[in-house]
Chains A and B, each alone.
Chain A
Amino acid sequence: MSKKVEKDRVGTIFREEEAQEKMEVEVTEVKERGDKDSPVLIYYNWCKRCGICVAFCPTGCLGRKPDGSPYVANPEKCIHCETCDRLCPDFAITGAKDK
């Protein structure tokens, strides 16, 4: 009994650590890409994957990953209209020119 509980707990901790690690990798990836050449910056820690930014992007700059989160599919298409900025309910994306 106690062994099982311990095993479960270890499993949970492992899963949490894995998720955390994955998130950190994503965030640093975006940070690096955003600072250098990406016109749109996405802050995945706050994103809730509602899909509004992708649905209303007028030029098709943003795409959707299989899990529903947005990514910059066509960086060259961004016209800095700030639609994603204004319509994001979570303040998790910015396409402004002077960030």
Chain B
Amino acid sequence: MANIPQKIIHEYLRHDKKFPHVWCAGCSNGIVLGSIIRAIADMQLNRDDIVMVSGIGCSSRMPVYVDFNTLHTLHGRAIAYATGVKMFKPNLKVIVITGDGDCTAIGGNHLIHAARRNIDITVILINNNIYGMTGGQASPTTPHEAIATTAPYGNIEPDFDICNLAMGAGASFVARTTAFHAIETQNYVKEAINHNGFSMLEIVSSCPVIYGRLNKKGSPADMLKHMRDNSITLAAKEKLPKEKTEGKIIRGILKRDERTEFTDAYAQLVKKVMGGKHE
């Protein structure tokens, strides 16, 4: 039993079983987890109405620590499982926690098709630019010329812009923020969960132990300061000249529109075909 008297810890975390968590010292995943449970506490959702689904990876350890309905599934297949859960029980709030490698490399196919269908699940993608758990292999979001254990002389591949990918595939809510901006993350998580349709929230995070050490990014606090100093809001980007915004992380809600949600469309189809006989 934790002696620390923070209400959210006692209410939403499996604090007496699973803590301290496995993440390395200074890993941003813990900050993101804090922002997510604060958002859920603000929304006053019933814990039984939330399903947290994840695949494999550092960030995908998150459902282990929260006291909701949780599913820890195959590598990259979190969105596929989440689609199944949502189709069977459309009243549940399904949150997918996934990493950059899990979601865009191994599960890239599931991502684009869930976005195309516009099914009402919330994907929270924690982007730390590397495969942290397996020892630092280059992932699709490792920046150009960054060092990884599979790219010891610098990565020659260009990196993915995950938000553009999700927007192109048809996601109806796309936002990006960083782990340092904890209050912004909390607000965006709330908006993403409330949005009726596929919501993709990319949270730029830091891996001080592997990515930071290979690329000489300094201490965990230095990496968070880098996020603070190198990110600008969408509104600021539109005002500044182009050369000043190059290489910056753009934060903000990048896309929000309303279109037919998949489980609604399915319910309508059932009604149309069965003519009210199914219930």
Contact = CB atoms under 8 A, between A and B. Distances in A.
A14 interface: no
B4 A51 contact: no
A89 B201 CA distance: 19
The interface size bin for chain A is: 20 to 34
Interface stretch (B30-38, B44-52, B146-154): B30-38
Given A96-B6, A99-B6, A46 B20 contact: yes
Given A31-B3, A41-B5, A43-B4, A56 B34 contact: no
Chain B interface size, under 10 / 10 to 19 / 20 to 34 / 35 or more: 20 to 34
B148 to A, nearest CB: 22
A99 B4 CA distance: 9
- 10 closest Cβ pairs, A-B complex: A89-B30, A50-B26, A55-B221, A48-B25, A43-B4, A86-B182, A50-B25, A46-B20, A50-B220, A99-B5
B2 A46 contact: yes
Given A51-B220, A51-B221, 5 more contacts: A51-B26, A86-B31, A91-B19, A94-B4, A99-B6
A57 to B, nearest CB: 11
Contacts of A86: 31, 34-35, 38, 182-183
B162 interface: no
Given A45-B20, A51-B219, A89 B27 contact: yes
B224 interface: yes
Interface in A45-97: 45-46, 48-52, 54-56, 85-92, 94, 96
Given A51-B26, A52-B26, A87 B224 contact: yes
Nearest to B30: A89
A91 B35 CA distance: 11
A70 to B, nearest CB: 12
Contacts of A41: 4-5
A50 B15 CA distance: 20
Contacts of A31: 3
Given A51-B219, A86-B183, A89-B26, A43 B3 contact: yes
Contacts of A88: 30-31, 34
Contacts of A92: 4, 20
A54 B220 CA distance: 11
Contacts of A46: 2, 4, 19-20
Interface string B207-224: 010000000000111001
A48 B20 contact: yes
B172 interface: no
Contacts of A51: 26, 219-221
Given A90-B30, A91-B13, A52 B19 contact: no
B183 A89 contact: no
A77 to B, nearest CB: 19
Contacts of A43: 2-4
Nearest to A54: B221
14 contacts: A43-B2, A48-B20, A48-B26, A50-B26, A56-B224, A86-B34, A87-B31, A87-B180, A88-B34, A89-B26, A89-B29, A90-B21, A94-B4, A99-B5
Contacts of B169: none
A46 B22 CA distance: 11
Nearest to A68: B25
